[in-house]
Amino acid sequence: MTTAVVFAQVPQGFTYQAIAFNPSGNPVANGNVSVKISILNNSVTGTNLYTETHSKTTNSKGLINLNIGQGTPVSGTFSGINWAINSKFIKVEIDPAGGTNYTSVGTNQLMSVPYAMTASKIDISSPGSSIGDDILESKSTSHFFTDKYDGKVYVLSSRTGIWSPQTYNVGYTNNNTTPEVTANNGNVIFIDKYDGKVYIFSSRAGTWSSQPYNVGYTNNNIIPYLFALSNGSTLFIDKFDHKIYVYNYTSGTWSSQDFNIGYTNNNIEPSTFASGSNFAFIDKYDHKVVVYNTKTMEWKSQPYSITYYNNNLSSPDITRSNGNFIFVDRYDHKIYVFNAKTGNWTSQEYNVGYLNNNSIPTLLGSETN
């Protein structure tokens, strides 16, 4: 019998994202920080299998991105970790000043084991060792129900085995009113229309988070439009405060961006779009397309031209693919692309010919594997 073991194609590392805070509890914006990562075996106090350090620069939100397994080794070897045996825990220590005075910021179980590296340890020819079975066993489900008499939504996380309740307001006139509860990627979402809040249970963090919205002074039953992605990040529109809110599943934080509804009609909402992990909306009164990048946690806008004689002309069509957004500014004769990899907009002019300034090129795409 021939045994096949995968080694050569397995990348020795996996991505990690966090927000660095200073001793005052504020994010370290655009600063140099030091990070120490340790992989522990089987428990939060288990044997230290591997430790490495990183020197990183945060973005304007205090966010850092690094590849665990590709830092400066302190002890152990990353390639020597057997991911297929026992649970693994990750201990994170940070020095927000960029030195070596590390402070522990927590130790958590790696719920999503790097399965590409697990596969490198598996004999894929032997019965009972299928990579697919290992991946399926790693999946978890959050179960939930609504207790309409106590006014609570309960979620059971199979990752932790703990029930987490969230109280909602049933209204003083009807104690049987219940919110509509939806779920995405293990997250549980509902709107408390009486208190004016959107609640999300994060399967990753195992906790509830909320974002207030304005219900309007004339009608406290108007609820925002809720748009949920399959990856767990969520967008909703607060049309009275004229804001777009996004819940970032990766960071567990809320972010908002104002939009202009025009001085003649305060109920017009922007068009919203989703691509990969990112969101976009069209602010047709300020004439710009705005994108929220979940990786960088930043909003990036791109103005477009609608011609000087008609400022209510229909907004551009948005093409979406893998976190990218593309549109044509047919009056300035440019193609604009939001690149999810770089997190920025880029443009390219095109020639429409002198006879027809409204003809536009055909947009095509080619995905990579």
Strands 88-95, 319-321: pairing kind: unpaired
- Considering the four listed CATH numbers 1.20.1260, 2.60.40, 3.90.920, 1.10.3470, the one that applies to the domain covering 14-138 is 2.60.40
How far apart, in whole angstroms, are the C-alpha atoms of residue 348 and residue 328? 10
Answer whether CATH 2.40.128 is correct for domain 140-258. Answer: yes
Question: Which residues 6+ apart lie within 8 Å of 180 measured at CB?
Answer: 190, 191
pTM of the full predicted structure? 0.65
What are 243's two structure tokens? 């804001």
Question: Which residues 6+ apart lie within 8 Å of 108 measured at CB?
Answer: 89, 90
Grouping H, G, I as helix, E, B as strand and the rest as coil, residue 136 is helix
pLDDT per residue of the chain (369 residues) written in tens, 0 to 9: 333 333 333 456 777 887 888 877 788 888 999 999 999 988 888 899 999 999 999 888 888 888 888 899 999 888 788 776 777 888 989 998 999 999 888 888 776 555 445 444 444 444 444 444 444 445 566 788 998 888 899 998 877 788 999 999 876 655 556 788 888 878 899 998 888 899 999 887 788 999 998 876 554 455 676 776 667 788 998 888 889 999 998 888 899 999 987 665 555 678 899 988 899 999 988 899 999 998 888 999 999 987 654 444 567 889 888 899 999 888 888 999 999 988 999 999 988 765 555 566 766 665 555
Contact of 140 with 158, CB cutoff 8 Å: yes
Cross-strand pairs, 142 = 157
Question: Can you tell me which residue has the tokens 């008609």?
Answer: 310
Read off the DSSP letter of residue 78.
Answer: G
How far apart, in whole angstroms, are the C-alpha atoms of residue 312 and residue 285? 7
Burial of 360 (0-12, 13-18, 19+ CB in 10 A): middle
Question: Which residues 6+ apart lie within 8 Å of 311 measured at CB?
Answer: 285, 287
Question: Which residues 6+ apart lie within 8 Å of 214 measured at CB?
Answer: 196, 238, 240, 241
Contact of 63 with 73, CB cutoff 8 Å: no
Cross-strand pairs, 328 = 335
Burial of 36 (0-12, 13-18, 19+ CB in 10 A): buried
Contact of 273 with 316, CB cutoff 8 Å: no
Cross-strand pairs, 227 = 235
Question: Which residues 6+ apart lie within 8 Å of 317 measured at CB?
Answer: 327, 328
